[in-house]
Every structure is written in structure tokens, then in C-alpha cells.
Amino acid sequence: MSNYPPYAAPPGPPPGPTPQYAPQYTQYAPAAQEPFYSDTKSPYENDRFRPKRRINDPIVLVLFILQFLGFAALSGIVIDTWVKDGGLGGGLGKTTSGTSITLNQSTVYLLLLVTAVALVLSTIYLILVRAFTKVIMHITLILSILLNIAICVYYWLTKYYSGAIIFTILALFSVLSYWGFKSRIPLAALLLQVVMDVSKHHISVYVVGFIALIMQALLAVWFTFTAIATYTKWTPGNPSCETTSCSSGKVAGLIFFEVFSFLWTSQVIGNVALATLAGGPYGCWYYFGPRGEGDMPKHPTLAAFGRASTLSLGSIAFGSLIVTLLELLKLILRAAQNSADADGHPVEACLACCAACFVGIIESLVEYFNRYAYIEIALYGKPYITAAKDTWRLLQDRGVSAIVNDSLVGMTLTWGGYAVGMLSSLFSYLYLRITAPAYNADGNYTAPVILFAFLIGLQCSLTLSSAIEAGVSTIFVGLGEDPQVLAIRAPALFALIAQTYPDVVRGVV
């Protein structure tokens, strides 16, 4: 019995773009009047893997660097004051010590525990994806539905109505999504098998994923200390207010900037990891063949990381900024919903909830599109606008949009990140109820603490799962540009795609 998986290429000459498919795939050829891949392309065509040595989108790159330096400077100021004031008391576990004015050391310990929980849950999720490639869609979707329902019921029972309304809508949506996309699971499962099989031979996939996860966790810890120290320094009534001007407006403005910086930097970390893997092991596997055949360039992951973290960093920051602004808008709408709910205005709360859901849908679509633009950036070194235009043309002209719109892989990994974020926020909520810190005696800080916990868990999980999404999306981009390569590289996957979406694999005039 052969040791090669059913979707792997058989041993022989290094596979590459060829004029014709194998005979068993000629049934998917277009009509005779359309040429069926009559040209043979080099893996290096159009500067693929050899982009021009220029810095793309320098203005956005400068803005990204400035905001990061601004966050670092602000962090240094507030943490220094926080340390001098002794952190306003508080501690680990149930304690009544510490100030009752604002967040104190108890919150720091809580969010550090949340970060540790997010790391553990994200790692477990990666292990599950690695071990159960065929059933991971079912497992993740079913668990997400159960989590949504359980958290929804819990919030209704504890009379946390704003959260209960949101999770009721999300629970219904997750149920409908599962039954609506169930027929697409076989294709997505086989696609995950291909990606995981490639990953087995490139340890750099997991190295990049875990390095990105660790960096994300460190950023979350840094953000946690900075946010708590900001509350400590400028909330009216704190000891530091004797020597500086304090106001709730100043706290809100600085927290807004810190959340913006955290989200933007988090997006960039995850997208640099995606571009590194797309331009490295996954892209090279698609266009050069397996490493053992000798055609793959040396150290493809390091070369791709060098391009993504220098010449293309501005382009990656550009796309990440768009998603960050949408995320901030969604957070503002959720805050408005919580405020309306607390003030006893159910109509305004429902309107804000609907608006937040609408913005969330737009954000998901932009993130989905950006992932393919980042792969164009990783492979060709294009500026963001050029990559976005080329991605749109690719999705329209090559028919890949049919697969992109119906693919379950991205949704499955997103649900995984969502589940980790929800479990992290639930952990923080239970911790607050059990420990009852002095600053949250009236429950005013429950919502922001839960929000911080959700962001930390979500970003940690999505950063790690980007290692898998990079492989899936790279195959889709390669399929749109050179589908004949996939027919040789993974014939079973190509055959299933050809059966499901025959227009995708038609000849390109």
C-alpha cells in the first residue's frame, strides 16, 4: 500500500506548471474554443518570490511606528506612576484590599490569568486542528453553538441583559450557519488535510505560529498593565491627582488610544505571520513542489519574514488599519448599547446592538478579503492598494470567489478564536463574581474587564490560527493564478474542487 496520502503528488520529476492536466482531469476542461492552459509559467514570473527592493506604503508605515512609539511612551509614564503608588493595592484571589475608586492590582492579576488561559486554550485548539483535520469543522461549530447557548442562558439567569441579547443573536446565527454550510464540510476537510500535511514537513509553520502567539501574549500583558495604570493615574480621586489634572474624559480618551494601538499592533503581528507563511513554506510548496525534490529555495520562511517585516510592513499595516477602525467602531456601538441598557432604554440598546452586528459583518468581509491581499503582498511585494485591486480582479476573473465565499476553513478557525475569546471573558466574569474586588462593588467595571478579557483571548487565538489560514488562502490564490499546478500537487483536492466549482478550473484566455 502506498505511503503517500490520497491528495499528495506521486514521486517523480519536480512538478510545476504544465500545458495539460493528467488524463483523468480532462473531463473538467472547458469548451474547445477556449485554450486549456496553453502556456507554461515560471515560479518566478512577475517577480514572484523576488519582489523589487522598495518600501511600500511608507506613509502608513511611519504612522504605525509613531503610534507604537506613542503607546510605549504613554505606557512608560503611567506604569512608572502606578509602581510608585503601589498599584493602589489589591491582590490575587478574593480580597477586599485596594482602592475602591478604580481598577487596581486585582485587575492586573485577573487579566494576567486571562492571558494564561488564552494561551492554553489556543494551544489546545491548535493541537485539535492538528489531530482531527477531518472532523474539526463539526467539532468547532458544534462547540461554538453550545458555548453560545450556555453563555446566553447564564447571562439571562444572572440578569446581565445586554450580554444576553448579543449572545442570543449570536447563538441563533451560529445554529443557522452550521446547517447552511454543512454540505461544504467535505471540501473544507480535505483542504485542511492538505494544509496540515504540508505543515508536517515544514516545522517553521508551527515555529512562526507559536512565536506570533507569544508576541501576542506579551503585547496583551503590556496592554493590560498600561490600561490599569492609566485608570490609576488619571481617575479622579486617586493619590496621583494631587499633582496632576485628572478627569474621566482624559481616562476615556487615553484608553481609546491604547485599545486602538493594541488592536492595530495585534493585527499587524498576525498578518506578518500570515505573510511569512504564505510567501514561505506554503507558497514555495505550491509553486516549487515538496522540499525533498530540491527545487524549493533555501530558507523560504526567513526570506518571507524579511520581506514582510521590512519592505511590505507598511502595506500590511495599511490593511490592518482598516480592520482596526471597524473594530473600534464596533466597540463604540457596544459601549453605547451597554449604556442604553443600563439607563433602561431597550429600543436604543437594540438599535446599537444591530448596528454593532452590521459593522461586525463588514469587518469580517474586509478581513476575509485582506487575507488574500496579504498573500499577493507576500508573493509579489505589491503595495496594499495594488494588491487589493489585483485580488479583486483575481476573485472575479478566475472564479475563486465561489470557493472563498463558501469555504468553511476560515469560518471554523474564526469560531475557534471566538470560542477562546468567549471562554476568556466568561472566566473573567466568574472571577469577578467570586473574588468581588473592592473597585467593582457596584458592578461598574464588569463590562470593561470582560471586554479586555475577550480581546486578549480572541487576538491570541486568531494569531495562532493564522498559521493554518495562511496555507488555505495561499492554495486559493495559487488556484486562481495557476490551477494546473494544484492538479499535480494535490489531485484529489483539485478533482473535488473541479466537481464542486467547475468554473474555477476553466482555462484562462
Q: Where are the alpha helices (DSSP H) in 311-381?
A: 313-342, 346-380
pLDDT value of residue 258: 92
Domain boundaries, the chain: 42-481
Residues sharing a CB contact under 8 Å with residue 229, sequence separation 6 or more, in sequence order: 75, 78, 79, 81, 82
pLDDT attached to residue 506? 59
Predicted pLDDT at 4: 40
| Three cell numbers written together for 42 | 515560471
Choose among 173, 176, 158: nearest CA to 353. Answer: 173
Closest alpha carbon to 463 in 498, 416, 500, 429: 416
Q: What is the pLDDT of residue 450?
A: 83
DSSP string across 429-477: HHHHHHH--GGGTTSTTHHHHHHHHHHHHHHHHHHHHHHHHHHHHHHHH
9: Cβ–Cβ under 8 A, 6 or more apart, which residues?
15, 289, 290, 488, 489, 490, 491
- In Å, what is the CA distance from 407 to each residue of 206, 338, 400? 23, 34, 10
pLDDT tens figures, 72-102: 999 998 888 777 766 554 444 455 544 444 4
Angle formed at CA 407 by CA 401 and CA 410, multiple of 5 degrees: 115
Residue 371 near residue 274, CB atoms below 8 Å: yes
When mean pLDDT is compared across 46-60, 160-174, 279-293, the lowest value belongs to 160-174
* pLDDT tens digits along 434-468: 877 766 666 667 777 888 788 788 877 877 777 77
- CB 182, CB 77: distance < 8 Å: no
- Note whether 494 and 486 are within 8 A (CB): yes
Phi, psi of 508 (to 5 degrees): -100, 120
Q: Which of 20-34, 160-174, 181-195, 224-238 has the lowest mean pLDDT?
A: 20-34
**Rounded distance between C-alpha atoms, residue 276 and residue 452, angstroms:** 28
Percent of the chain with pLDDT over 70: 75
Tens-place pLDDT, residues 152-203: 888 788 776 666 776 787 778 777 767 766 666 777 777 777 787 787 778 8
Whether the predicted pLDDT of 429 surpasses 90: no
**Interval 314-342: pLDDT, tens:** 999 999 999 999 989 988 888 887 778 77
pTM as predicted: 0.73
Please tell me which residue, 4 or 279, carries the higher pLDDT value.
279
